[in-house]
Amino acid sequence: MREKILLFTLGLLSRLPLRFAHGAGALAGRLFCLFPNRERETAATNIALCLPELAPADRERLIRRSLQEAAKTLLEMPVIWRREPDHWLKLLQQGEGMELPGRLLQGGRGLIVLAPHLGCWEAGLHYLETLAPVTALYRPPRDPALESVMLAGRRKGGARLVPTTGAGVRALYQALRRNELVTILPDQEPKQTGDKGGVFAPFFGVPALTMVLIGRLVRRTGAAVVFSYAERLPAGSGYRVHFLAAPDGIGDADPVVSASALNLGVEQCVRRCPEQYQWSYRRFSIRPDGAPSPYLRAGTAP
C-alpha cells in the first residue's frame, strides 16, 4: 500500500508545470520556516558553522531562502523525471565556463564532473549527456519504489546509473579509461573513515568527513576534473548551467590535501549561489575523535 501511495503521489507531482512546482515549493518552504523542525534547525546549524560572518538578519533570510529552494528541488524532481530530456535542454541557459568540459575531454583520459547538492542536479545531468557518454554514481534510496522511478527518469537521456558499490566504482574506472564522462555528488558524507570511506578536511573551515574516492580516481586514471551546477532561474523559467575549474591538488597523493581541494571546489560553487545549496543536509554529523554531532546540540538527532 505504501508503495502504491508513493507512486501515485509522484505521478501527480510529475504532471505539474515547472512554474507551478517552483511556486508551490517557495510557499511550502516559507511555511516550513514558521515551525520548529529538523530541516530548519539543521540548516540553521550548518549556516552558523559555515558562514559565521553573516548578520543575524542575513542568516535568517538565507535559512528561509534555502528551505524554499529545497522544497522546489523535491517538487521539480518528478516533473523532470517524467519529461523527455529534449524538453529540459530547451530550458537550459549557458553560464560560466561552458568551454571547460569539451577542452578537458580532449586530454583523452576522461572527465570527472563534480556536481554538489546545489541548484538542480537533475537538469544538469541532461546537459552532460549532450557532451559524452555519462556514467553517474548514486546512493540508492531506502525505498525501492522511489529508486525505480528515479532510475527510469535519469536514464531517459542515456546516462548509465551505477550504485555506490564495488561494482559501481569499477564502472567509473572503466568509463574514464574509455575517455567518457563520470559524474559524482562530491558533498555526501561517507559512512566511515579510512580508505573505503573518507578523511576529515576543512569545508568552510569546519572539519568534514570527505570522500577519498575522487582523488583515487584522478590518480589512477589521470582524468581531468571540473565542478558543475545548474542554477535554478526565477518563476520556473529554466536553469543556467555553470562549470568551474577544479582547485589544484585534487589528485594529490595525500588524501587530506586531495579532500581539502575537493571541499574548496564545492565551497567555490556554493558561494556563487548560497541560497540554492542544500543546507538542510547533515554534512557534519560525524565528528573527529568521536566528538558529539552539532545537530544533537541543535535538537536534530537522526
* CATH, residue 166: 3.40.1130
pLDDT at site 217: 98
302 pLDDT tier (thresholds 50, 70, 90):
very low
Total domains in the chain come to: 1
Q: What is the mean pLDDT of residues 48-60?
A: 97
Which residues in 134-149 are b (16+ Cβ under 10 Å) and which e?
Answer: bbbbbeeeeeeebeeb
Residue 51 lies in a domain: no
Q: In the predicted model, what is the mean pLDDT of residues 175-192?
A: 96
Q: How many CB atoms lie within 10 A of CB 28?
A: 16
Residue 255 lies in a domain: yes
pLDDT above 90: residue 296? no
Q: Is residue 14 part of a domain?
A: no
Residue 247 lies in a domain: yes
In a domain, 120, yes or no: yes
Task: Label residue 6 by pLDDT band (50, 70, 90).
Answer: low
- Residue 45: CA count within 13 A, CB half-sphere: 21
More confidently predicted of 203 and 153: 203
Whether the pLDDT of residue 301 is over 50: the answer is no
123's enclosing H/E stretch is helix 121-128
Q: Which domain holds residue 173?
A: 85-297
The answer to the question of residue 268 being in a domain is yes
Is residue 167 included in any domain, yes or no? yes
Across 10-19, 112-121, 172-181, 184-193, least confident range: 10-19
Query: How confident is the model at residue 8, as a pLDDT?
Result: 64
Contact 66, 105 (CB under 8 A): no
The answer to whether position 4 is within a domain reads no
Question: Model-level pTM greater than 0.85?
Answer: yes
